[in-house]
Each structure stands twice: as C-alpha cells, then as structure tokens.
Structure 1
C-alpha cells in the first residue's frame, strides 16, 4: 500500500502528518500552497475535486482512493494498518478513547471554527457597517461561544488531572486529534493559564520525537498559527 499525504502547512492536516510519523509509516508528502496554487495543489485537484486538507491518497491493488477528513484518515490507519496506538484494553479506557477521538472534530473544533468565522465576517464587513457585525460577534461570543469553549476546556482539564493521556495511561490517536484545537486555545485563549494540566499535557506532546519531526517536515509556523488564532478572541 502506497500512501501520499497532501498537506497544507500550519493547518489541521499537521495532525495526520504527525500520526504517520508516530506509526513510523512509509509515505510521500506533498506540501500544497493555495495563494497562488503550487504544483502540489494542482496535483491534489486531479485526485480530489474538493481539494481539502488533509487528503490521503491510498494506492493498493491497482486501485486509488482519496480520503479526506482527519478523523476518517486516523480511523482508516488504525483499522487497516494495525499500527495505530488505540487505547488501553480496559473497557473504561476504550470508552474514553471513543469519546475523545470524536470530541475533537465533532464538538471542540466547531466552536473554535465559529470564533474564526465571526472574526472573518467582521474583517470583511464594509467599514461603515463594521460596528454592527462586531456587536453581533461579541454578542454571540458572550452569550454562547465563550461559555461553551470554557466548559470544554474544563472537561479536558478535569480529565487530564486524573489521566496522563486522554484514553488512560497510553498515548493514542485521540491525543493526536485533540491536540490541534487545544493548541489553538493555548495560542489565543486569554485565560488558558487557568488550565495547568492542559499546559502540562501539551508540553508532553511537544517532547515526543515524532511530533517534532512532523513539525519540521510539515513546515509548521508557530508565529503564523498564533497570529491566525489571536483574531478569534
């Protein structure tokens, strides 16, 4: 089986690049640029009309498939390659694993994405009307988003106060998937210092050799990441 990852630097596709490094899998990496499109972007469009990141091109038995969505890619690699760190065998850990790996993109990331959407709306509103869109953004944040994100961070903090990793004592793909939205909060949330266990957890992740190797290969930019997410708050 041949794997090719189409990757956009400093994006959610960094998680899949890290996952491939953790599994010590052989894969080809194509780094894409959107503005202006580079050769990698043009190549991706030939395989996938949606051209989403990440996209994993899977070639096996003279067939070729393009798989997008981080959670779907992670689940595929776990099920079909049997190398993915899953979770401890105990039922409690299995349940925690199932919850957290889906929590990342089904619950946590959408609230952060809404933060970005409202920030972009304000930026793109004509200047005379911008106070109106800003008030709408602030009202939605104060009335819902800020409390929702705080509750999610509280849940993660409480869990990590009792467990080394999300699925118990073993690192798993749940940790890989939750890393990105949690890192976004660490980069921009004004009260992230209130979450010491989350900060310790992120430091644990950063100490992993595969994580550092993936950052280098994926051309990750901390400065760009922080600048992007700072606009959301």
Structure 2
C-alpha cells in the first residue's frame, strides 16, 4: 500500500488531500518537527537521504518532491481526474502551475521566513545589526518580489475559476501551500479577493477536511 511519510505543518498535507480527492488507499507514517529548530526529525533520513517531507513509498518505490509525487499519483490513481487531457492547452497551463508552485512561488516565501527569524537567533550584541540587515533585505528585495507574485496569482484567478482552468485540479492542490503560506506570513490576502475566495473554496472541500482529520493539526488550514 502507498505510505505517505507526513511531517506536521508541511507540504505533505497536500499529498494527503490529493489522495482523499481521488479516493486512493493510503496509510500515514507521521513525524513531528523539532520544537526549537522546526526541522524534520532525523528519522526521515532513513526513508530518503535528504530527510524531507513529503516522501511516499510503495512496492519498493521511494519518491520525494511534492510536484513529482503529485504527478505520479495523478498518473497512477487519477484515471483522468484532476488533470486536463494530454495535449490540451489546459494541460500545458496545469503543468506550469504544478512546477511553478515550488520552483518560483516558494523560494521568496522561504526567504521571508528565514529573514524574519534571523534576529531572534542572533547573539544579543549582534541582534540590532542583524535586525537592520534582515529588515532591509525584506523591504528592498523580498517583499517587492512577493508582491509581484501575489498580484500575479490574483490576476490569473481572474482569467479562470481555478489556476489551470475552469475545473479544480491537482494544480490547485499544488498551489494551495504557497497561497496558504503567503496568507500566513506575507499578507497576500490584503486587497486580493480572488485569493481569499480560493482559500475559502479549498478549505471547504470535503476531501480537504478528511485530509486534516487523518493528518492532524495543520497551521495553515
């Protein structure tokens, strides 16, 4: 059976949600972040050398990277669901958003998280300097970059109800984590009604709720 190696408050919540949308059988092996560092526990390295989540295993296969996992699950269990037909214009857009979610959307959000935490981790004597550097980096580079992405998402959701077209798809599952993280730490919903509506719609989906029940508390829900 497919096993999802699930880390709390992580990208792996999307994998549980996708499987619930497809009604595919799976089991969960849960891991908890270190309370101080917020990093994944070393036990995950026994599953995959990078020690990250999500990772899925099935019949000798070990697969990491959320986008690759989502594509594999849709191919294996989708039976044509949650993906536009191959060769269609929607399929190209679907593939774009599937890869954009981690390739372009998440790096500036990660920078926002890291630079936001830098001052607290610095020695007390250096904290004012680190705080100044972190604030300057956010104001001059990170925040403008994030605004560009957030405005782009808002604009694209004005072209169709969902990211890849008129129908909900795995592309929306992939984009859920960047949008949720952006709403939590980047103020993405301020003045962006389409993004707010997107979150409301995905959070109301029965499969999303079932994934929460199985996966446990999730800070971004």
Q: Note if 1:53 corresponds to 2:50.
A: no
Q: Note if 1:67 corresponds to 2:66.
A: no
Cα distance change on mapping 1:46 and 1:142 into 2, 3 Å: closer
Q: Write out per-residue CA displacement over residues 145-168 of structure 1, whole angstroms, 9 at most, x where no aligned residue.
A: 111111111111011122111111
Distance 1:101 1:44 in 2: 24
Q: Write out per-residue CA displacement over residues 95-129 of structure 1, whole angstroms, 9 at most, x where no aligned residue.
A: 22121111100001111001111123222110111
How many residues get paired?
Answer: 215
Distance 1:168 1:108 in 2: 19
Deviation at 1:175, TM superposition (A): 0.4
Aligned to 1:29: 28
Q: Note if 1:182 corresponds to 2:157.
A: no
Where does the alignment leave 5 or more consecutive residues of structure 2 unmatched?
A: 36-40
User: Alignment partner of 2:2: what SS?
Assistant: strand
Q: Please give the root-mean-square deviation of Cα atoms over the aligned residues, in Å.
A: 2.1
Deviation at 1:43, TM superposition (A): 6.2
Contact conserved, 1:88 with 1:170, CA < 8 A, in 2?
no
Cα distance change on mapping 1:90 and 1:199 into 2, 3 Å: farther
Aligned partner of 2:88 among 88, 91, 94: 91
Contact conserved, 2:182 with 2:188, CA < 8 A, in 1?
no
Aligned to 2:109: 112
Distance 2:85 2:199 in 1: 21
TM-score (norm 2): 0.89
Distance 2:188 2:22 in 1: 34
Cα distance change on mapping 1:137 and 1:5 into 2, 3 Å: same
Which of the pair is proportionally richer in helix? 1
